[in-house]
Chain A
Amino acid sequence: MIDWGAIFSNAAVELISPTTAAYALAALGLAVHFGYTGLLNFGQAGFMALGAYGYAISILTFGFPVWGAVLVGIGASVVFALILGIPTLRLRADYLAIVTIAAAEIVRLLFTTNSFASVTGSANGLSGYKLGFAALNPIPEGTYGFGPFENNAYDWWLRIVAWSVVVLVALFIWQVMRSPWGRVIKGIREDEDAVRALGKNVYAYKMQSLILGGVFGTMAGMIFALPRAVVPSNYQTSLTFFIYAILLLGGAATILGPIIGSMIFWVLLSFFSGFIARAVEAGWLPFMTNVQAGQLRFILVGVAIMLIVIFRPQGIFGNKKELAFVH
């Protein structure tokens, strides 16, 4: 018999898990790039990797405090955005796509290679950088919460910090997109030449947007690294594609879209994998092994991306008039 209770509670755990928060934050960064500015950044995984490695290496190799490690990660991503932006922001959109995807792979390969294994841990990655973050925890020891939301003090601390960052970033983007700066950014998405004709330096605005969204991606990378180890294979191109799936699901040029999109994505994914895995165990799907059941969800994500983009390009919360797709 299938244990429905376990499937539902495992799915509910994902609703507020730090991973969901990290994906929501990365998707918010991508919303700044793609949804609001119309920049096709396919290198969000690279920004996340820089955040995770910047944080972990600062602490493990250089013994930085938590705030210093955070700053190192953010600094690395600003430099990365400048390197990406300078050659490509003057070119057509698909060039930025190819360069960002290539740059993210370069970052991942540099973290994977054996040449820097003493610092990066090569393919095995890094762990053991969480002590500083745990020491900041004001919550007394013990378990809190109920049902699927029962966690120990460290896990609650992590969730509170992660979701606070998400909320603050969301409020910031909401405000900044209502400001004159935000109107220029949205103008660039709609008609770059018109904005240029108004005397705005489109290149500089695009660069600012690239840096801003990249910094959010980097912060997402740090949150992503806190509940697990930093392993380079986590930062493959598929990570970027998953974040795109979340963004498109929620709505590209929205604030709530990436957040709710991430929750829906992870809850559905967890529910689906839990259900399929147990259905295989119960013998309902005799043609499938457990390993194959795990791959089914990636196939589904791919198909979902295609269907959303074709049939509901504005996503759940989006407005059809505000599409980055027009060009």
Chain B
Amino acid sequence: MNSTGIAHRFSPRMLVVFFGVLLAALTLSTLAISPAHADEINTDKYDYVLTGNAQFDGEPLDGVLITVTGGGYEAEVKTGVDGKWKIGVPEKGTYKVILDEETLPEGVVVTKGGAELTAEFGLTKVKSVNFFLGEGVRTTVPFFDQFLSQFVNGLNFGLLLALAAIGLSLIFGTTGLSNFAHSEMITFGALMTLAFSGLGLPIWLAIILAIVLSGALGWGLDATIWKPLRRKGVGLVQLMIVSIGLSLAMRYTYQYFIGGSTSQLPGAGQADLKFGAVRISPIDLASMGISIVVLLAVSYFLLRTRLGKATRAVSDNPSLASASGIDVDGVIRIVWIVGGALAGLSGVLWAYFRPGVSWDMGFQILLLVFAAVTLGGLGTAFGALIGSIIVGLFVELSTLWIPSDMKYVGALVVLILVLLLRPQGILGRKERIG
């Protein structure tokens, strides 16, 4: 990733401001409800605590980012002004403790043992983990190599976004619905894969079953909610708000059943293969391959089959399509099934890309999917494909210049800029936007 240039440091002036704020916070904290401790997390929630102290030459280092992962649990914390950090963990297990070298001051690196340590609890409930920090220069990866590997990452991300975006765009094109519950259809695919693989089924079978069920979910949602509402003649804005309510209800139903933790699908986190400068895991390769094959199949369906042509006709002008003898309701049903299955597959691939399955994973990319669809032109399937790849590339490549916790900001800003310059999107037609 980006090892040069943008490392986060405190300049002396920023430090003064920081301490000023801190001092103000301390003196005023009689009124504050919960004074936030920057250097402790979940220590009051869990009994087991990992702790450490980031020091260099006897000087404490603050703002160093420490991440703990293990057993589906993940937490991160920044060291306090005294250089100390504490992270509570749910059980007595083995955890990976990672120090983000980007957050170390310039000229300081982890000298021995690496920036990633494994911690195991002994007899006590507190385990201290310390990194060996010393003087040194971080080895930097040449810019072009970083660019290339982020490009491949972005392509992978864009392709998986495209799977969800095409479904969303087809549904919008045929029914006019901006489906905010699409994110929950994405999550559904990943959740079902997790459930089936948890039952002991091989992963390929689990994924296929999950996609079939996702298609069924799409059909079910259309049959129980959207079709009756269309019959009732409910307005488009109303439908959109209904989809928001549905999204909220489904999302928290997922959380009700699986809780707030992140679980990994089998095979996630495999070692990278090297192709020249590009490091890529077998899972990523498979993910890109599957996306491309499925996208080609969808294109073939839309361009060459009778049903696909009917779908495009309905998307173009529903009443005309209906008058030409096309079964509009049938087409919409197919679109929901295909859209659900594509969203489910996209969810599985997203679970491997993040990596991890969590209750709100779909919602995390919903806006990017919407951005992709809008970029390409609302309601055009191939526009959604192009828009997704642009968004995917943009999100991953932007981390070369901006901090990675702001990578989604770039994509959303581009969305607003495109609407300013070419509101109909890349492939959209002007009359759609009026």
Contacts and interface: CB of A to CB of B under 8 A. Distances in A.
A127 B367 contact: no
Given A95-B374, A102-B416, A128-B31, A303 B403 contact: no
A325 interface: yes
A326 interface: yes
A115 B8 contact: yes
Given A94-B240, A305-B248, A102 B367 contact: yes
Interface string A123-157: 01111111100100000000000000000001000
B318 interface: no
A223 to B, nearest CB: 15
Interface stretch (B18-26, B105-113, B282-290): B18-26
Interface string A86-117: 11101111110111011101100110111101
Contact of B32 (A130, A237, A325): A130
A4 interface: no
B38 A291 contact: no
Contacts, number: 196
Interface in B58-112: 63, 65, 78, 103
B413 A128 contact: no
Contacts of A309: 238, 241-242, 245
B33 A114 contact: no
A173 interface: no
B403 A129 contact: no
Interface string A282-325: 00000000011001101111111110011001000000000011
B371 A128 contact: no
Interface stretch (B140-148, B346-354, B404-412): B404-412
Given A99-B419, A115-B8, A127 B29 contact: yes
B420 A327 contact: no
A40 interface: yes
Given A130-B31, A309-B241, A95 B419 contact: yes
Contacts of B241: 244, 248, 305, 309
Contacts of B433: 91-92, 95
Contacts of A301: 245, 248-249
Secondary structure type dominating chain A contacts: helix
A60 interface: yes
Interface stretch (B117-125, B208-216, B228-236): B228-236
B275 to A, nearest CB: 32
Interface stretch (B251-259, B336-344, B393-401): B251-259
Interface in B1-59: 8, 10, 14-15, 17-18, 21, 24-29, 31-36, 38
A95 B251 CA distance: 24
Contact of B406 (A113, A227, A296, A310): A113
Contacts of A195: none
B405 A113 contact: yes
Contacts of B371: 98, 102
B379 to A, nearest CB: 11
Contact of B249 (A119, A227, A302): A302
A200 interface: no
A327 B238 CA distance: 10
B115 interface: no
B18 A118 contact: yes
Nearest to B257: A292
Nearest to B259: A291
Contacts of A87: 416-417, 419-420, 423
B134 to A, nearest CB: 24
A68 B403 CA distance: 32
Given A115-B406, A227-B33, A302-B248, A102 B240 contact: no
B78 to A, nearest CB: 8
B21 A299 contact: no
B144 to A, nearest CB: 25
B298 interface: no
Contact of A92 (B14, B240, B434): B434
Contact of A295 (B8, B247, B255, B408): B255
A117 B406 contact: no
B17 to A, nearest CB: 5
A102 B248 contact: no
Given A102-B416, A127-B29, A291-B259, A118 B14 contact: yes
Contact of B236 (A99, A105, A227, A327): A327
B242 A310 contact: yes
A76 interface: no
10 contacts: A114-B8, A121-B21, A125-B36, A126-B21, A127-B33, A296-B256, A298-B251, A299-B249, A301-B245, A310-B232
Given A87-B419, A128-B29, 19 more contacts: A87-B416, A88-B419, A95-B419, A109-B409, A115-B405, A118-B21, A119-B17, A121-B21, A127-B36, A128-B27, A154-B31, A237-B363, A241-B245, A298-B248, A298-B249, A302-B249, A305-B244, A310-B242, A313-B238
Interface of B: 8, 10, 14-15, 17-18, 21, 24-29, 31-36, 38, 63, 65, 78, 103, 178, 229, 232, 234-238, 240-242, 244-253, 255-256, 259, 363, 367, 370-371, 374, 378, 403, 405-406, 408-409, 412-413, 415-417, 419-420, 423, 432-434
